[in-house]
Structure 1
Amino acid sequence: MNATILKYKNFFSILVRWIIFGSIIGIIVSSTTTFLLETNDYLGDVREKRDWLIFLLPLGGVILGYIYMNYGKVFSNNTLNDTAELNNLVIDAVHGKKVVPRRMGLIVYLGTFITVFFGGSTGREGAAVQMGGSIAAAVNKLFRLNMFDSKMLIMSGISAGFGAAFGAPITGAVFGMEMAALGKLKFEALVPCLAASFAGHFMTTAVWGHKHEEFYIQIVPHLSFITFIKVILAAVIFSLLSVLYSQMRHGIQTFSEKLFKKNHMKRAFVGGLIIVALTLIAGSQDYNGRGLDMLQQSFKEDVPPFAFLAKLVFTAVTLGTGFVGGEAIPLFFMGATLGNTIHTFMDLPMSFLAALGLIAVFCGGANTPLAAFLLAMEMFHGKGLEYFFAACMVSYLFSGHHGLWPSQKIYEPKSRLYNITYGETIENVEKKKKS
């Protein structure tokens, strides 16, 4: 009897501890994320009114590279923890391979502000996720938690950052568990991740009063066999776009690191020059920054037919040459504008196909089908539930073992049709294919 009481007492003490720590992380991360969102919006507005700032992007790249080269590398337990690895470092921390330096959040915020202000093509959730990991590491250091709890808190930081960045607390909770690995969910982390994500969402919206962007589906097609076939076909197309982006972005990174011998300052300077040239060729700055105006437009009226391809190139060059930020919003842009482009060929409503593309391209790139589906439910208020579920599953399967983050571990292949070794990372799988 005493053993049973002791067991339940221990269980509830752990549960309460996770809720408390998750909530603390959520409150702190949401406050820093709100600062990120508001500052990014302000800097983006300033840049849009001053076109000439784009010509300073190469100089911004030099400053950003200097910061990462001189302050971004931290040694711990004879292991190099390079903040320039961005979300990959956070994923490695979840797996216990590395640690997230406490300075990472500040560095990535500065880097994101520089990138956005001078016109690099990027998003914001990457900075929020990395700040979440940085704050979780600080909480872990302060309370001297064990390795098991430390991993849980890193996932909680991811959840808080993502949930607060997009106003999607349920998605944030699952994203924190799903981001690090393919084929495995650590449901024990659900409690701290939920606490962190909901606390973060409440602080961002109710306390700090931040208003998230809203997208509306005007018409959802009636359920029919033909429509499902069209949705599946569209999801395959969207998944291939996510693969194209991932391969191009990592290809540019690998090439530029080799060419400039991992000199971050030189890489970003040249990358800035290329973005300036691409902007002049495009004749507009629609593909610089976050691109929220055209993203909103893709739900309402026609956009340039190759807008998705232009955004893909701009973002791949920006992030592949060492600038920083998030990749979710650029993927949203690519998917929504591609959906807008093909809606007449597929005879589906414009806003519906734009929404489908937004979710499916993100799903294929992030390899997070459950989080992507939940994001659709939260973002579009539950409309088209059956179609979004099918699109997420198809995009996840057809995107193969590619993705935004090479450090993602493949606990189990997406299908037996893929000849992949269990426990490999996406990076190792790519290397084996090339060899």
Structure 2
Amino acid sequence: MRRKVLFYSYTKLTVASLLVAILCCLLAFSLKHITEYAQHFLFNEVSSRNSLLFIIFPSVGITAIYFLRKYVFRNRKNKGIKEIYTTLETRKDHLPFFKIPSHYINGFLTVIFGGSTGIEVSTVVATATVGNQAYKRGLSPLAFKKELICAGVVAGVTVLFGSAIGGWLFAMEVIAKRMQKTVIFSCTVAAILSLVFVHYFDHTFLISMPAEKWQWKAIPYMLILGVLGGLLATYFTQIVIHCKTWFAHIESNFIRVNLGAISVGVLILFFPTLYGDSYHGLASMLSSFTTTEIVTAVPVTLALLIFLKPLAASLTLGAGGDGGVFAPSIVAGAFLGILFAYLCNSYFGTEFLIINFALIGAAATLSGAIHGPCTAIFLMCSAAPNGYALIFPLAVGSLVAFLCSKVLCPYNVYSYKEA
């Protein structure tokens, strides 16, 4: 009798996980591509017509979000991944359905109008809500709430980064935070389906430049870069917290929204690389640093961008934009890795490959920011062609950054209130 009950429960969980994964793959796929298209279109239009429009563009997006929250979503707040943690703590608490369109639309508007963050956290919360709603509607046994939420997250992250292992690890390491047989099962089902979806419909890389072979003598430098990535992640975490706290004390919605958004717009005017998720700027920087001659001003600009990207992201979030630390951490960390390799090559006689250190820096900073070293390793392995050739260097950078950031700041940006 017990075997029959278990078989029935796992069968129902399998079907529910597959259904949730399909819906979340479609959600993440559509948000990813319409955001990418609209962001590039608007950026190119403004660049070719009048760059001064960059100053007001973030205000347009964040003001639209403000009115949507007030009149369409009835002033119900979005708190990002912390909402998922709250929901998982009690069986009766649920992520309401409105969070699917809310995060989908708000994440889209934030990024396409230049808000210096990404759609990753918006996607994570929206897909978690899909899983929660499936549970709420009785598509699985009552004990499997966490399982369906994590299945949705796996599918969303897999489609965004093209890494089923990375999506699986993020759900286990950052969302579930502990291993359970049923969670492992539902996440694996969702990961397999998402992997098939990505293979047939969205097999592209975040960075087009392929990773190269590395040498063991570079390990000490990778350790140093890991420490620097941990320091950068700690800086990012602290500045996000302080910006959100400071903006929360501004009573006037008009001042709060426009102060933050116009500040971001001014930064974008002088540094267009900060526009939106900045993945386009990362590609441009990689191209610049792989040419035979590098203009002197470029490394200086890159050094500034390492600190300005987290600041611009923090101002965006403080002003009311929708997003999180994924894209800013990856981009700022990659900038750090590029600059580190360039300086080593220029002054210490090394011959480091820029793309390799860009990926290590990105993995290190992401690991420190989300306190998810395993997630960071495999997401960056899938970020560029031949990325798995760097799995050991990525592991070195990620683990060192995680330990460094954990010592300096025992909480990540999603859990600081509970720390």
- Alignment TM-score, normalising by the size of structure 1: 0.83
Does the residue aligned with 2:137 lie in a helix, a strand or coil?
A: helix
Distance 1:186 1:320 in 2: 36
Conserved 8 A contact 1:339-1:357: yes
Conserved 8 A contact 1:89-1:99: no
Q: 293-302 or 250-259: which moved more?
A: 293-302
Counterpart residue identity of residue 263, structure 2:
I
Distance 1:9 1:42 in 2: 49
Residue 411 of structure 1 aligns with which residue? none
Distance 1:146 1:72 in 2: 30
Residue 172 of structure 2 aligns with which residue? 177
Does the residue aligned with 1:403 lie in a helix, a strand or coil?
A: coil
Distance 1:336 1:239 in 2: 13
Q: CA deviation at 1:275?
A: 1.4
Q: 2:308 aligns with which of 302, 307, 310?
A: 310
Distance 2:212 2:128 in 1: 39
Residue 64 of structure 1 aligns with which residue? 65
Does the residue aligned with 1:84 lie in a helix, a strand or coil?
A: coil
Which whole-Å deviations, capped at 9, do the CAs of 1:317-347 have from their partners, x for residues lacking one? 1112210124312211101111111113343
Matched, 1:41 2:31: no
Does the residue aligned with 2:144 lie in a helix, a strand or coil?
A: helix
Q: CA deviation at 1:266?
A: 4.5
Does the residue aligned with 2:95 lie in a helix, a strand or coil?
A: coil
Counterpart residue identity of residue 258, structure 2:
F
Conserved 8 A contact 1:93-1:154: no
Q: 1:398 aligns with which of 404, 407, 419?
A: 404
Counterpart residue identity of residue 63, structure 1:
A
Which whole-Å deviations, capped at 9, do the CAs of 1:6-58 have from their partners, x for residues lacking one? 33333333332222111111100111111101110121122112225532432
Distance 2:198 2:143 in 1: 28
Q: CA deviation at 1:187?
A: 4.7
Distance 1:128 1:68 in 2: 17
Distance 2:19 2:326 in 1: 25
Q: 1:359 aligns with which of 353, 363, 369?
A: 363
Q: 2:45 aligns with which of 12, 30, 50?
A: 50
Residue 102 of structure 2 aligns with which residue? 107
Q: Return closer, same or farther for 1:186/1:376 CA change in 2, 3 Å cut-off.
A: farther
Counterpart residue identity of residue 405, structure 1:
Y
Residue 372 of structure 1 aligns with which residue? 376
Matched, 1:128 2:123: yes
Distance 1:187 1:230 in 2: 39
Greater helix fraction, Structure 1 or Structure 2? 2
Conserved 8 A contact 1:72-1:84: no
Conserved 8 A contact 2:211-2:387: no
Q: Return closer, same or farther for 1:188/1:143 CA change in 2, 3 Å cut-off.
A: closer
Matched, 1:194 2:168: no
The number of equivalent residue pairs is 390
Counterpart residue identity of residue 427, structure 1:
K
Q: How does 1:279-298 map to 2 (within 5 A)?
A: 279-280=268-269, 282=270, 284-298=271-285
Conserved 8 A contact 1:68-1:84: no
Conserved 8 A contact 1:83-1:89: no
Root mean square deviation, CA, Å? 2.3
Distance 1:359 1:179 in 2: 15
Counterpart residue identity of residue 283, structure 2:
Q
Conserved 8 A contact 2:161-2:382: no
Matched, 1:239 2:230: yes
Q: Return closer, same or farther for 1:364/1:187 CA change in 2, 3 Å cut-off.
A: farther
Which whole-Å deviations, capped at 9, do the CAs of 1:192-250 have from their partners, x for residues lacking one? 112223323433451x45644334444332224xx322211110100110110111011
Q: CA deviation at 1:369?
A: 1.4
Residue 412 of structure 1 aligns with which residue? none
Counterpart residue identity of residue 115, structure 1:
T
Conserved 8 A contact 2:84-2:128: yes
Q: Return closer, same or farther for 1:383/1:209 CA change in 2, 3 Å cut-off.
A: closer
Matched, 1:278 2:263: no
Counterpart residue identity of residue 58, structure 2:
L
Conserved 8 A contact 1:93-1:151: no
Matched, 1:222 2:215: yes
Distance 2:398 2:10 in 1: 32
Matched, 1:143 2:138: yes
Counterpart residue identity of residue 11, structure 2:
V
Q: CA deviation at 1:360?
A: 0.9
Residue 88 of structure 1 aligns with which residue? 82
Unaligned 5+ runs, structure 2: 290-297, 345-349
Conserved 8 A contact 1:288-1:314: no
Unaligned 5+ runs, structure 1: 1-5, 75-81, 407-425, 430-435
Distance 1:244 1:198 in 2: 36
Q: CA deviation at 1:146?
A: 5.3
Counterpart residue identity of residue 203, structure 1:
F
Q: How does 1:397-416 map to 2 (within 5 A)?
A: 397-400=403-406, 401-406=410-415
Conserved 8 A contact 1:120-1:275: yes
Distance 1:220 1:34 in 2: 32
Q: 33-42 or 46-55: which moved more?
A: 46-55
